[in-house]
Amino acid sequence: MGIVGVSVLVACVIACFAVIIFWAVAIQPRRERTRAEISPDEAWRASGFEQLRGNGFSLYQVVPTDQMRSAEFIIQDEYGRELGRYIGTKIGDKSAVLQYAGKKASLYIQGGLVGGSIYAGKVGGTSNDSIVIRDETHLIAECWRESVIPVIEYRLVYSGETFRIATGGLSPTALGTITQDGRQLAAFRRPSLSERNMLVAISSKMPDELKICFCSIILLQ
């Protein structure tokens, strides 16, 4: 390959990166904000589990903010009312702050395939490889990843009760479920590969704090 060929290749690579950056900074956030503002009817239709509507389930949308330095998401109901927030502390830190109902909790990922985690054994979990959600005084929930391929499965313990969280498969748009003793308590999926928004239908009987725990673990897939 001559100098001209190399120059063309470099120019193509730079152009590709420019397109990707422009999409991430300008196009994707706009599409995500548009998705966040759709009506309840549109949201249920886009969810893929509209049959749950009217059967004791409430629909929530997990919406990314424009924050660039960390992963920050608003958890809102189908009418746009905020239930809580997931705020990643910083990239690679394996922790997040959860805000809801005037409260604040922390999420810590203790396990890790490479290098482990600085939080392992230091955040009050019952094991050193779990995901811990806690406030300053007590453990709120603890979660273990039990399988990875082809379906990611988690076991979450909250207030002495055990729940199963399972993704739908390799595609983020596949339908995932949350169950307890075989009973479906929630369903979730991303309606589009090009957007980070997630739609989650949760049994209305679940306490808001547990809904926040569910949505936080779903975001980790």
Distances (CA, A) of 157 to 85, 113, 217: 21, 22, 12
| Contact between residue 105 and residue 135 where contact means Cβ atoms under 8 Å apart | yes
Eight-state DSSP code of residue 97:
E
pLDDT at 117: 82
Residues in the chain, overall count? 221
pLDDT digits (tens, 9 = 90+) for 127-155: 999 999 999 999 999 999 998 877 899 99
pLDDT, mean of residues 7-33: 48
Eight-state DSSP code of residue 123:
S
Per-residue tokens: 205:
């009987």
The answer to whether the Cα torsion of 130, 220, 83, 59 is positive or negative is: negative
pLDDT at 1: 53
pLDDT, mean of residues 196-214: 96
Which amino acid is located at 186 in the chain? Answer: A
pLDDT, mean of residues 11-15: 46
At 158, the pLDDT band (50, 70, 90 cuts) reads: very high
Tokens 């990314």 label which residue?
64
Which percentage of the chain shows pLDDT scores above 70? 81
Fold of the domain built from segment(s) 38-219: Tubby Protein; Chain A (3.20.90)
d(CA 85, CA 100): 7
User: Which of 32-36, 85-89, 124-128, 209-213 shows the lowest mean pLDDT across its residues?
Assistant: 32-36
pLDDT, mean of residues 209-219: 97
Which amino acid is located at 185 in the chain? Answer: L
Comparison of pLDDT for 176 and 168, the residue scoring more: 176
pLDDT at 19: 37
